[in-house]
Amino acid sequence: MLHKIKENMSAFIISTSYQQYLYSLCKLINFPYENVYCTKLSLDKYHIDKTETERLKLLEEEIQAFQMIEIPKNAKSFSQLPSKSQETVRYLDSIFLEEIPRMSLGMMLEEIKPIGGEEKAISIKNIVEKIGCNLSEVMYVGDSITDVQAFQLVREGRGLTISFNGNDYAVRKAEVAALSENAIIISVLADVFHKFGRDGTLKLVKNWNHDSLIKYCSEDILNELYKLYPESLPEVKSVTKENVDKLAEESKIFRKTVRGEAIGRLG
């Protein structure tokens, strides 16, 4: 997908993941690492002694034993969380806000700045300035709460925002929701965006069918799409006030089938 997009446009990865993972991924798929914005981490900079190591292992076991935090749909404050979830949050606060900051490990939490939320939006601004384009020429694809501010920035600039197998947060802030087992669908949308811009892509999405795809999309990409989906197309829809709740639920369920229960439930 990334290589297909690179044929027509500049492609970048903006990820909360650590640089070691992204560096290996770039080598594996032959993607330019200089086009990656991710969380920087020097594994050689920090030292953790044996006592801290044992304590961290114990904390890990305790955290894994907790039930997943449940956030009721209409909850707006901490007091509206279930009592078990409140208990979990308080204990996690005591670990990450009190105990770990007192360790030598606390320096890592203080110095390492994850790329997420505001940092992803800042990364987009850097990219736009770097390649000399406007936000209206940006197509941003995300799937989680860390993409919300990036979505907001791109939408305000009249670019295109796409939730790809996104969770509730992503779907509600995107203009388009795509549900697919394969990223070829993003290649399709990127191809159309390159040729027809935001408005043309949204027009295609509103008339998402084989006839419209023939009019908008390049033949080579369509051939790849039809090899994977010879009959029914993956679900791609515009997000509206009327369908956002239904789409968010569908995407949440689909996300778990594609990424697995543990990863699918992450924010």
pLDDT tens per residue across span 237-251: 999 999 999 999 999
- Where a domain ends, among 111, 126, 144? 111
Residues 133 and 199 both lie in one domain: yes
Instruction: For residue 190, name the pLDDT band (cuts at 50, 70, 90).
Output: very high
Give yes or no for residue 119 having a pLDDT over 90.
Answer: yes
| pLDDT score of 265 | 57
Q: How many domains does the chain have?
A: 2
Sign of CA dihedral 154, 158, 162, 163: positive
The residue out of 94, 111, 128 marking a domain boundary is: 111
Q: Give mean pLDDT, residues 184-190.
A: 96
Q: Which of 71, 94, 111 is the last residue of a domain?
A: 111
Domain shared by 86 and 162, yes or no: no
Are residues 121 and 137 both part of a single domain? yes
Question: What mean pLDDT is predicted for residues 108-137?
Answer: 94
Whether residue 97 lies inside any domain: the answer is yes
Q: Are residues 71 and 203 in the same domain?
A: no
Residue numbers of the domain that contains 239: 116-264
Predicted local confidence at residue 258, as pLDDT: 83
Residue 4 counted as domain residue: no
| Confidence at residue 1, expressed as pLDDT on a 0 to 100 scale | 92
Dihedral of CA 66/68/71/73: which sign?
A: negative
Here the contacts of 212-216 (C-beta below 8 Å, separation 24 or greater) are: 213/188, 216/192
94 shares its domain with 122: no
In whole numbers, what is the pLDDT of the chain averaged over residues?
93
Do 107 and 162 reside in the same domain of the chain?
no
- Quick: pLDDT tens for 140-173: 999 999 999 999 999 999 999 999 999 999 999 9
User: Three-state DSSP class for 238?
Assistant: strand
Residue 102 lies in a domain: yes
Tokens in use for 243? 């369908």
Are 210 and 228 in a shared domain?
yes
Residue 220, domain CATH: 3.40.50
The tokens for 197 are 């811009």
pLDDT single digits (tens) 21-78: 999 999 999 999 999 999 999 988 888 899 999 999 999 999 999 988 888 888 889 9
Q: Name residue 217's amino acid.
A: C
Is position 32 within any domain? no
Are 194 and 170 within 8 A, CB to CB?
no
Both 125 and 244 in one domain: the answer is: yes
Judgement on whether residues 151 and 225 belong to the same structural domain of the protein: yes
Per-residue pLDDT of 93-114, as tens digits, reads 999 999 999 998 898 888 998 9
| DSSP helix/strand/coil, 229 | coil
Residue 263: which pLDDT band, with cuts at 50, 70 and 90? low
